[in-house]
Structure 1
């Protein structure tokens, strides 16, 4: 299978590229700037398989430059882990919407067009939840900046002209390096871990291995289309997440961080930790996906060892 991967230089994209190469796929990474050199060794050590690179400009100039493409995965978007100034918020929204629009424009000029596009999205469009648990059948009810960003992101993705579009609603991705988890773990390393705010907000988590696994599953499984919750099957609150992290790392979970302090330090970005969703991957489970890490403590143990 030959695939294009937009946003392939982030920690999810790098892990996905390795998985695709390991199973023998041909991967073209669409990026703003080509790296000087890159190589990936297959999982059996039988030789070297390397991703190929193309800039967004090159792809726009020649949409068929990589040859016939079977699938496209779009993970492109500016990081949300920055202070949310008005300028930063505009970049966060426009980077996601613009990437989806460019994918749609280029696919319209590809011959043949790919069969499937997996477009990253976010779990925050459901709004905030205490005890309510969201599956893919719930309507979008955004309550904050991230939620409205996801609405605009998915609206742009809906214009991508392919037979099958998967909108991957991603939660907190657990990985030893990369993403938000190392920052969440830091207070526990310093023996200062505890709930954030009242601790009742949902923490929709997924292990990096299952994040990659769900993308591969979405590409390969023709019955998967539309929204897909990319979260683990055991939803937890912020307080439950922290207690599990404390147990796994042998650190106390005892120092609550007041919402007022987080708002003072982080500004509007404090909504990342003070609000959240409890969600389940109903569609993935009903279509037969088997999670490598269905239990939070097992997932945390793997990324903290």
Structure 2
């Protein structure tokens, strides 16, 4: 299968590209800057957006485009940062829509990253793919506009992967979240009652492959484990796996002072369920936070 990936050099994108190559797919990474071919990776190609604007035929025969492009949200949300976060997502979707429109043989599948922030935050409600959008903050607005831009892509099947917190040692937020525990200073954040919907990085890659391959999956798909946890439960599982105490709480006012509006990522949350994945038979390798933590930090702690 010929598959194009935007954001293929990011945390999630790199793992997906390696998995696609391992199973024999031809992979095109679309990026802003040119890159050299990797030795021994004959099925890996690179193209810049500018190249594709001039020569869209490079992607003729592509069966699937996976759009993971977007500036990191892990930064202080200044006015300029907010603009970059939003535009990086909507611009990528618009570019893909234009590119697909110019292809004679259009890809039948587009898998576009999205986010669970579209459901809003709650300490009491549970959300799945049938839950309506509830836009009450910056990230919710970003996801709403991101998905609207993705829906303009003229593909037969569009999958909107609503990504939760991806837990992996190779990038993302988890290494920073684990750092206080490594220093024996871990504890709950804020009240500790806020929900955390999460997914192990390995399951994230596997579910993307699942969405690419399974023809009857379309529309929103929640990329999260079937057992969300509270922040306090998350910290206790992390501390137990690392053999570190869970005792030093971080007050909400301190996070708000240091991180500003971005502190809402840690102080608010949602209880999200992956109903569509489960209905379609996806098998999670790490369905519980305990199993994920043992894999991510427990094994290394014991060696």
TM-score by length of 1: 0.95
The answer to whether the aligner puts 1:178 opposite 2:171 as a matched pair is yes
Secondary structure, aligned partner of 1:64: helix
Q: Which position in structure 1 is the counterpart of 2:54?
A: 61
Shift of 1:133: 1.5
**Aligned partners of 1:66 and 1:136: how far apart in 2?**
31
Cα deviation, residue 153, structure 1? 0.5
87, 104, 114: which one aligns with 1:94: 87
Say whether 1:119 aligns with 2:119: no
Question: Which 4+ runs in 1 deviate beyond 3 A?
Answer: none
Assess if the C-alpha contact under 8 Å between 1:133 and 1:277 holds in 2.
Answer: yes
Task: Give the Cα separation in 2 of the matches to 1:50 and 1:200.
Answer: 47
Partner Cα separation in structure 2 for residue 157 and residue 289 of structure 1: 24
| Residues 221 and 276 in structure 2, CA contact (< 8 A), matched pair in contact too | yes
Cα offset, 1:38, TM superposition = 2.0
Residue 276 of structure 1 and its aligned partner are, at CA, apart by 1.2
Q: Which ranges of structure 2 fall in alignment gaps of 5 or more residues?
A: none
In 2, Cα distance between the equivalents of 1:105 and 1:35? 23
Measure how far apart 1:39 and its partner are: 4.3
Match of 1:74 among 67, 71, 91: 67
The aligned residue for residue 157 of structure 2 is 164
1:14 matched residue in structure 2: 14
- 2:202 is paired with a residue whose SS is helix
Q: In the alignment, which residue of structure 1 is the partner of 2:199?
A: 206
Residues 224-243 of structure 1 aligned to structure 2 (within 5 Å): 224-243=217-236
SS at match of 1:73: strand
Counterpart of 2:287 in structure 1 is 294
How far apart are residue 302 of structure 1 and its match?
A: 1.3
C-alpha distance in 2 between matches for 1:146 and 1:39: 39
**Matched residues in 1 for 2:101 and 2:60: separation?**
15
Deviation at 1:50, TM superposition (A): 4.4
3-state secondary structure, aligned to 2:57: coil
What's the offset of the Cα at 1:170? 0.2
- Deviation string 1:35-59 (CA, Å, 9 cap, x unpaired) is 234246xxxxxxx554110001111
2:126 corresponding residue in structure 1: 133
Tell me how far 1:93 sits from its aligned partner.
0.3
Count of residue pairs brought into register by the alignment = 298
Deviation string, structure 1 residues 45-79 (Cα, Å, up to 9, x no partner): xxx55411000111122222133100000000001
Mapped pair 1:218 → 2:218: no
Whole-Å separation in 1 of the counterparts to 2:173 and 2:42: 30
Give the structure 1 partner of residue 254 of structure 2: 261
CA contact (8 A) 2:37 2:46 kept: no
Note if contact 1:78-1:92 (Cα within 8 Å) is conserved in structure 2: yes
Following superposition of structure 1 onto structure 2, how do residues 16-31 of structure 1 map, counting pairs within 5 Å?
16-31=16-31
Unaligned runs of 5+ in 1: 41-47
Structure 2 length as normaliser, TM-score?
0.96
Deviations 1:221-244 (A, max 9, x none): 011000000000111111111111
Query: CA–CA distance in 1 between the matches of 2:268 and 2:28?
Result: 36
C-alpha deviation, 1:83, in angstroms = 1.1
Superposition deviation, residue 139 in structure 1: 0.5
Q: Give the RMSD, CA atoms, in angstroms.
A: 1.1
Q: Distance in 1 between matches of 2:144 and 2:281?
A: 28
